[in-house]
Amino acid sequence: MRAAMTQQGFSATVSGPRRWRAFTLVEVMASVAVLSLILVILMAVTVQLSNLWQRTSGQIEQFRGARMAFESLTRRLSQATLNTYWDYDNPTTPTRYVRQSELRFLMGSTAALTGGAASRPTHAVFFQAPLGLVDDTRADAAAADGLANLLNTCGYFIEFGDNEAERPRIFGLTIGAPRYRYRLYEFIQPANALTLYNFTGTTRDYTGRDWFDLDAADRPAHILADNVIALVLRPRLSAQDADGAPQFTDYGYDSTATNSDAALNPKNQLPPIVSVTLVAIDETTARRLENGGAAPDFGLDALFVNAGQQEEDLRALEDNLIASHANYRIFTANIAIHGAKWSREQGD
């Protein structure tokens, strides 16, 4: 029958067990080498990404305090008020009505405003705002309940020094090592301890600066942010207020002063706009540049003196920071003063 099937064209094939070809030792070693190289590359990329994320998140965290301080400063600065009114120019022999105010707005070089203190670089501002903050430890605190619009004297300035006030004290001893840093301070005098009205002159001009004392041991000031090295403040007129007139050429502004140019006369007026620039470094930079009680030299003494050179001075400060290998951030904004009602009606 097998012969018959063959003759009819049929055939049968019997297959044995199938054999698979194995990897050689060289192929296995090459595969392991390639896999190891891929793993090394992935590990290096992961480490770099992790370091970048930690460095970036650390810088964001360190500059968060400066950013929050900048927002707090600009928010309260926009609330400044003079509560102006029109009254006789002279109570005994009046000749006309003039703009009057018992409140103050003072801005300019901190060294000039506070007697030339070298530890307070760049600028400062002091004003009154209806914040309604009171000192609860005083006996008259209860009388201020429900009076949310009471006036407070506010101020902002840079100061270099130790953080002794922040460190804990046990049995009268300060614990911890000193940290000398530039810091942004907020000065807020409680409404029930306001001293502005103690310095009224016979002409109703508060020409003195005793209504804030930054050298007093009990000054109502607290640290708003560490490692803020510069605060630059400049008064400006809006386009509508200027109406073709020149802008202020000085950083300083005093609401008790008189300018012969009625278009720029600050007498009992608020600046419509204040340009605010804040420069901060990170803690890593501050720790690296720390030299005991000596302040790092960023050339601040020679900068931000002439308002016409503000952009050049800011670039010079950036060059100094880059030369010091500092990580820094610059915050800037033009803040509109809500209570400003600029007028040229009073020219003296």
Q: What is the pLDDT of residue 348?
A: 46
Specify the pLDDT at position 68. Answer: 93
| Residue-level pLDDT at 205 | 53
Chain centre to alpha carbon of residue 92: 47
Token pair listed for 50:
């992790």
Q: Which of 105, 123, 124 is nearest to 342 (CA)?
A: 105
Q: Are 208 and 113 in contact (CB under 8 A)?
A: no
Q: What is the pTM of this model?
A: 0.79
Per-residue pLDDT at 149: 82
Phi, psi dihedrals of residue 11, rounded to the nearest 5°: -140, 155
Amino acid found at 3: A
Instruction: Say what the pLDDT of residue 256 is.
Output: 87
Question: What pLDDT shows up at residue 1?
Answer: 47
| Bridge-based pairing state of the strands 253-254 and 105-109 | antiparallel
Long-range contacts of 173-179 (CB under 8 A, 24+ apart): 179/290
pLDDT at 27: 79
* Residue (of 145, 52, 111) closest to 252 by Cα position: 111
**Neighbouring-strand partners of residue 100:** 85
* 221 class by beta-carbon count within 10 Å (0-12 exposed, 13-18 middle, 19+ buried): buried
Write out the DSSP string of 233-296. EEEE--HHHHTTPPPP-SS-EETT---SSGGG--TT---SEEEEEEEEE-HHHHHHH-BTTBPP
Cβ neighbors of 168 (< 8 A, separation 6 or more) are 174, 175, 176
Q: What are phi and psi of 277, to 5 degrees?
A: -130, 130
Rounded Cα distance between 343 and 118, Å, is 37
DSSP percent split of the chain into helix, strand, coil, nearest 5: 30, 25, 45
Residue spans of the chain under pLDDT 70: 1-21, 51, 53-60, 62, 116-117, 164-176, 199-207, 242-245, 346-348
